[in-house]
């Protein structure tokens, strides 16, 4: 849905919704009209705040976090032999999971990247492994040069923000939600991001689909669990 610049109706600016108890805001369920406009505007502002926050992390810190996250994702998914695991090409400070894809291949798994076909349509997943040719896709994000559509068993989805119920705040295009809703036989979906991206709620709506789990450098978040279990 497109962003709307009509004035908000909250007593506090919409950009401060992350500081407000969700129950107090009165937005626990489906919204309509002005209320959705305000939440949509808040999501846009929150998205930019969280992206700027992760970009401000020193490169060495991000690298260390990425290694921890990747190691625990591998532990979480177990044996990958013959399974198709899709990750992504890093964008705007996202965890770099290219080494993870290489490790999956080394362990006997197949790897894939998501491909944006066009706005408003679900993503496709195309087989690709480290060293194979790439071309430029939408927003100049690299995609496999050879189109080999596949159905992944596991999808690793980067998050801009997330909450305790494993709802994911993305870039606003709705690609992952649209893709998961259209898939027959939903794959296991693992959201990954940095612990500093956690927020009280994304104000989920009926079109929002939660991740099966979300994993950060600090721990695993499972749906309906409000605390992070530390990883050791």
Q: What CATH code is carried by the domain that includes residue 128?
A: 3.40.50.10420
DSSP per-residue string spanning 129-190: -TTS-EEE-GGG-EEESS--EE--SEEEEE-SEE-TT--EE-SSS-HHHHHHHH-SSPPEEE
Q: What is the pLDDT of residue 14?
A: 39
Residue 165 lies in a domain: yes
Strands (E), the chain: 84-86, 110-115, 124-127, 134-136, 142-144, 149-150, 154-158, 161-162, 168-169, 188-192, 213-215, 219-221, 229-230
User: In the predicted model, what is the mean pLDDT of the chain?
Assistant: 84
Lowest mean pLDDT among 12-21, 24-33, 86-95, 110-119: 12-21
pLDDT > 50? residue 15: no
Residue 32 lies in a domain: no
pLDDT > 50? residue 47: yes
Mean pLDDT of 27-52: 79
Q: What is the pLDDT of residue 230?
A: 42
pLDDT > 70? residue 156: yes
Residue 79 lies in a domain: yes
Contact (CB, 8 A) for 214 and 193 = yes
Residue 20 lies in a domain: no
Collapsing DSSP to helix, strand or coil, 32 comes out as coil
Residue 74 lies in a domain: yes
Give me the number of domains the chain comprises: 1
Q: Greater confidence, 121 or 93?
A: 93
What are the φ/ψ torsions at residue 178 (nearest 5 degrees)?
Answer: -65, -40
Lowest mean pLDDT among 26-40, 187-201, 208-222: 26-40
Mean pLDDT of 59-63: 97
Q: Greater confidence, 93 or 3?
A: 93
The residue segments making up the domain with residue 119 are 59-230
Closest by alpha carbon to 31, among 231, 220, 202, 224? 202
Q: What pTM value is reported for the model? A: 0.81
What are the φ/ψ torsions at residue 39 (nearest 5 degrees)?
Answer: -65, -40
d(CA 191, CA 158): 6
| DSSP code for 7 | P
Residue 27 lies in a domain: no
Residue 184 lies in a domain: yes
Mean pLDDT of 53-60: 97
Question: Which of the four pLDDT bands, split at 50, 70 and 90, describes residue 33?
Answer: low
Tell me the percentage of the chain whose pLDDT exceeds 70.
Answer: 82
Residue 7 lies in a domain: no
State the Cα torsion 57-63-66-68 to the nearest 10°: -110
């Amino acid at each position: 849905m497109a962003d709307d610049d009509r004035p908000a109706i909250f007593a506090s600016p919409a950009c401060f919704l992350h500081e407000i108890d969700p129950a107090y805001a009165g937005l626990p369920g489906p919204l309509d009209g002005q209320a959705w406009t305000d939440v949509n505007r808040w999501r846009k502002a929150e998205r930019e705040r969280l992206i700027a926050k992760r970009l401000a992390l020193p490169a060495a810190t991000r690298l260390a976090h990425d290694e921890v996250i990747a190691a625990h994702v591998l532990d979480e998914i177990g044996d990958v032999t013959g399974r198709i695991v899709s990750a992504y090409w890093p964008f705007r400070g996202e965890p770099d999971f290219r080494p993870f894809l290489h490790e999956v291949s080394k362990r006997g798994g197949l790897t894939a990247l998501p491909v944006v076909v066009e706005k408003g349509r679900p993503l496709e997943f195309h087989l690709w492994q480290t060293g194979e040719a790439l071309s430029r896709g939408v927003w100049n994000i690299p995609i496999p040069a050879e189109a080999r559509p596949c159905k992944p068993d596991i999808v690793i989805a980067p998050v801009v923000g997330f909450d305790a119920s494993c709802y994911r705040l993305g870039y606003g295009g709705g690609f992952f939600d649209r893709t998961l809703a259209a898939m027959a036989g939903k794959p296991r979906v693992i959201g990954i991001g940095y612990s500093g991206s956690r927020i009280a709620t994304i104000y989920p709506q009926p079109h929002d689909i939660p991740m099966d789990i979300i994993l950060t450098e600090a721990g695993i978040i499972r749906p309906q669990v409000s605390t992070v279990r530390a990883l050791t």
